[in-house]
Amino acid sequence: MNGKAIVITGALGALGKVVAEEALARGARVAGIDHAASQLAATADHIELGGVDLTDTAQATAAIDKAAAHFGRLDGLINIAGGFTFEAVSDGDPATWQRMFAMNVMTAFNTSHAAIPHLTKSGAGRIINIGALGALQAASGMGPYAASKAGVHRLTESLAAELKGKVTINAVLPSIIDTAANRAAMPKADISKWVTPKELAEVILFLASDAASAVTGALLPVNGRV
């Protein structure tokens, strides 16, 4: 990944931070985009764009263009930004479904749409989305989240077909990720079976690398030791 210019959305979150650290360690230049504020001073190899609402098309486009201008190119987009909710359909709120669609599908669409002109110039452009293993067969209470992540899966497949031979587009489908938030939400769970952020980062960065040049349209399960 030496010298590649990579955008990571949700870069200040539990997974995004690890992916950014691993990408930088491998010689990539990283632009992190997040809704949260950032105080990091920009360098030639690392810039953080905070306070960006990626559900807003104009803000997403401006952030992607700024990252590409900073590096003079763009080789990869890793769409980690998103959200989760647990809510039954029978007593649920339609606004929850709209929020999940906006946070998971529209963020990935907006950034991909903005990045495509830059990525097609790369010669080795990559987009990696974050789907969900739970979207393949949704459990009770997982309707709004699983439906939105299923949308990410279909977006991945459709865009891969659209840009075949120009940009590769793949998605990783993790089970439960070992984060502080998930540990707090499930204190009795066997966390030894969960996927660590570093393990997931390894798979994501493989798909972003030159070694994955023949892989596109894949929905890759990363289910830990379940």
Q: How do the domains of the chain map onto residue ranges?
A: 5-222
User: For 4-43, what is each residue's pLDDT tens digit?
Assistant: 999 999 999 999 999 999 999 999 999 999 999 998 999 9
- What's the whole-model pTM score? 0.96
pLDDT at residue 226 tops 80: no
- Please, are residues 191 and 183 in contact by the beta-carbon 8 Å criterion? yes
CB 78 within 8 A of CB 9: yes
Helices (H) and strands (E) in the chain, counts: 7, 7
State the average pLDDT over residues 122-131: 97
pLDDT digits (tens, 9 = 90+) for 170-212: 999 999 999 999 999 999 999 999 999 999 999 999 999 999 9
**Closest alpha carbon to 217 in 138, 162, 145, 174:** 162
Query: What is the structure's pLDDT at 39?
Result: 85
Give which of 143, 120, 134, 31 is closest to 80, Cα–Cα: 31
- Give the CATH architecture of domain 5-222: 3-Layer(aba) Sandwich (3.40)
Alpha helices in the chain (DSSP H): 14-25, 57-71, 94-100, 107-122, 143-162, 180-185, 197-207
Q: Is the pLDDT at 225 greater than 90, yes or no?
A: no
Cα separation, 138 vs 157, in Å, equals: 20
- Which whole number is the average pLDDT over 85-95? 94
